[in-house]
Structure 1
Amino acid sequence: MYAEYRLRLPAGYDQSAFVDFHGRDRQSVAERIASGRVGKGFVWRGRPALMEWFFTAHQARVRLALDGAGEIAPAKLKAELKRLSRHALGLDQPVQTFNAAWCSHPKLGPLIARRPGLCIPQTLTPFEAIAWAIIGQQISVTAATAIRRRLILACEVKHSSGLWCFPAPAHLLQADTEALMAAGLSRGKWRALVALAQWFEAGQLPEVRTSESESLEALGECLLALPGVGPWTVNYALLRGFGWLDASLHGDVAVRRNLARLLGRDDISQADTERWLRAFTPWRALVAAHLWAMST
Structure 2
Amino acid sequence: MSTTLHCQLPLPANFRADGFLDFHRRDAQQVAERVVDHTLEKGLLWHGRPALLRIALYPDHAAASLLLDGSASGDDAAQLASTVRHMLGLTQPVAEFEAALADHPQLGPLLARQSGLRVPQTASAFEALAWAIIGQQISVAAAVAIRRRFIQAAGRQHSSGLYCLPDADCVAGMDEASLRAAGFTQGKAQTLLRLAAAVASGELPLAAWQLAPDAAAIGQQLCAIRGIGPWTVSYALLRGFAWLDGSLHGDVAVRRNLQRLLGRADKLDAPETERWLAEFAPWRALVAAHLWALQAGDGY
TM-score (norm 2): 0.94
Q: Is the 8 A contact 1:232 1:252 kept in 2?
A: yes
| 2:10 is aligned with 1:8 | yes
Deviation at 1:206, TM superposition (A): 5.0
Q: Distance in 2 between matches of 1:59 and 1:100?
A: 24
Q: Distance in 2 between matches of 1:157 and 1:61?
A: 26
Deviation at 1:212, TM superposition (A): 5.0
Deviation at 1:291, TM superposition (A): 0.4
The residue aligned with 2:262 is 263
Q: Is the 8 A contact 2:172 2:200 kept in 1?
A: no
The residue aligned with 2:116 is 117
Deviation at 1:174, TM superposition (A): 2.0
Q: Distance in 1 between matches of 2:197 and 2:281?
A: 34
Deviation at 1:210, TM superposition (A): 4.9
Q: Is the 8 A contact 2:33 2:162 kept in 1?
A: yes
Q: Distance in 1 between matches of 2:15 and 2:160?
A: 29
Larger deviation, residues 169-178 vs 110-119: 169-178
Deviation at 1:225, TM superposition (A): 1.8
Q: Is the 8 A contact 1:147 1:184 kept in 2?
A: yes
The residue aligned with 2:295 is 295
Q: Distance in 1 between matches of 2:292 and 2:279?
A: 18
Structure 2 matches for 1:56-67, cutoff 5 A? Answer: 56-67=58-69
- Equivalent of 2:35, from 5, 19, 33? 33
The residue aligned with 2:73 is 72
Where 1:80 maps in the other structure, the secondary structure is helix
Q: Is the 8 A contact 1:18 1:121 kept in 2?
A: yes
Aligned Cα root-mean-square deviation (Å): 1.4
Where 1:294 maps in the other structure, the secondary structure is helix
Deviation at 1:185, TM superposition (A): 0.3
| 2:181 is aligned with 1:182 | yes
Q: Distance in 1 between matches of 2:210 and 2:146?
A: 28
Give structure 1 regions of 4+ aligned residues with deviation exceeding 6 angstroms. Answer: none
The residue aligned with 1:159 is 158
Aligned residues: 292
Structure 2 matches for 1:134-149, cutoff 5 A? Answer: 134-149=133-148
Q: Distance in 2 between matches of 1:216 and 1:50?
A: 30
The residue aligned with 1:172 is 171
TM-score (norm 1): 0.95
Pick closer, same or farther for the CA change 1:101–1:210 going to 2, 3 Å.
farther
Q: Is the 8 A contact 2:199 2:205 kept in 1?
A: no
